[in-house]
Amino acid sequence: MGRLSTELCGIPLENPVIPASGTFGFGYEFAEYYDINRLGSLSFKGTTLNPRFGNPTPRIAECTGGMLNAVGLQNPGARAVLEEELPKLKKVFSKPIMANVSGFSVSDYVETVRILEAEKQIGWYEINISCPNVHGGGMSFGTDPSAAFEVISSVRQVTDRPVIAKLSPNVTDIVSIARACEKAGADGISLINTLLGMRIDLRTRKPILANTTGGLSGPAVFPVALRMVYQVHKAVRIPIVGMGGISTAEDVIEMMMAGASAVEVGAANLIDPYASLRIIEDLPRVMERYGIEKLSDIIGVTEQEKM
């Protein structure tokens, strides 16, 4: 195990950096830029049971410190992902991958996982109960502990692989939802997804996004994400994948000190296709600067030192 190595739900990672779902396609697209095997893993594009075109355009709006997106889970559906997208990824990536799964009913989540079970390269299921850009599903499951429990417990029954619940920050009590997911059998928690926001075009006096609202991501959300990772780490005994505005090696270290065992890099990938690789390459320098021998030694140290 090297200085950058960590572990997520019992699966070793060469380093903790994972491109976040929705910001890295199905992974193979980035292989023409660099060897993506240098990543810890990757969470591929959010997948639903049936194909989705996504929301009407415009879907993207820029803002200070980040961006808003309302893509709406555009994807070809679980069967096409299994038969067409993942074989392309397997040709260029040899490590376990994270399957990001979303749905509009409990049965949607269950059936999507059933289909994806045929792919042995999947190491974890990241169950997205937090997408703010779809109606009738997504975030509605992740804002209520009982609904979150139902989704996670149902998925837990159809797979032996690690199940990670991806949670929404658009709640008043993130801890109660994380605990419900842990009780339901989740092996880990991913947080945070995007914060709900909007922009208005001053000329037309109408919302910029066709969906009216969208998910805010980028550096502006980092302090919120860090706070929630810290709170949840104190409350559960399962590992956490921290995300939200991570764009530097320093951000990774800060997130791990708050309690994350691994991190996901999101909006930064949309600005710079080399962002995740750049962060990995910079980690040893930053570790040296702060006297860190191994990343695995700093997971949750902020809370430990307080105790």
Per domain, the residue ranges of the chain are 6-55+74-198+217-306
Q: Are 264 and 19 in contact (CB under 8 A)?
A: yes
More confident residue, 304 or 238: 238
Q: Is 80 exceeded by the pLDDT of residue 139?
A: no
Q: pLDDT tier at 164 (50, 70, 90 boundaries)?
A: very high
Q: Give 66's strand partners.
A: 63
Of residues 114, 116, 107, the one with CA closest to residue 46: 116
Q: Are 295 and 283 in contact (CB under 8 A)?
A: yes
User: What percent of the chain clears pLDDT 90, i.e. is strictly above it?
Assistant: 91
pTM summary value: 0.95
Burial (CB count within 10 angstroms: exposed 0-12, middle 13-18, buried 19+), residue 37: exposed
Strands 200-201 and 43-47: unpaired
What mean pLDDT is predicted for residues 259-282? 97
C-alpha angle with apex 149: 53 to 246, nearest 5 degrees? 60
Rounded Cα–Cα distance for residues 292 and 8 (Å): 20
pLDDT at 205: 98
Buried b (16+ CB within 10 A) or exposed e, 260-299: bbbbbbbbbbbeebebbbbbbeebeebbeeeebeebbebb
Interval 265-283 mean pLDDT: 97
pLDDT at 144 over 90: no
When pLDDT is averaged across residues 28-53 and rounded to a whole number, the result is 97
Q: Which CATH architecture has domain 6-55+74-198+217-306?
A: Alpha-Beta Barrel (3.20)
Mean pLDDT of 159-180: 96
Average pLDDT over residues 157-171: 96
CA 42 to chain CA centroid, nearest Å: 9
> In 138-239, at which residue ranges do the beta strands (DSSP E only) sit?
163-166, 188-191, 195-197, 200-201, 206-207, 214-217
Whole-number pLDDT of residue 183: 98
Instruction: Tell me the per-residue pLDDT of 192-232, one tens digit each, with 9 for 90 and over.
Output: 999 999 999 999 999 999 999 999 999 999 999 999 999 99
**φ, ψ for residue 207 (rounded to 5)?**
-60, 140
Which pLDDT belongs to residue 306?
Answer: 55
Q: Catalytic residue at 131?
A: yes
pLDDT exceeds cutoff 70 at 70? yes
Instruction: Say if CB 215 and CB 245 are below 8 A apart.
Output: no
Q: Which of 229, 214, 232, 125 is nearest to 176 (CA)?
A: 232
Grade residue 143 by pLDDT with cuts at 50, 70 and 90: confident
Residue of 9, 63, 131, 181 marked active site: 131
- pLDDT tops 90 at residue 130: no
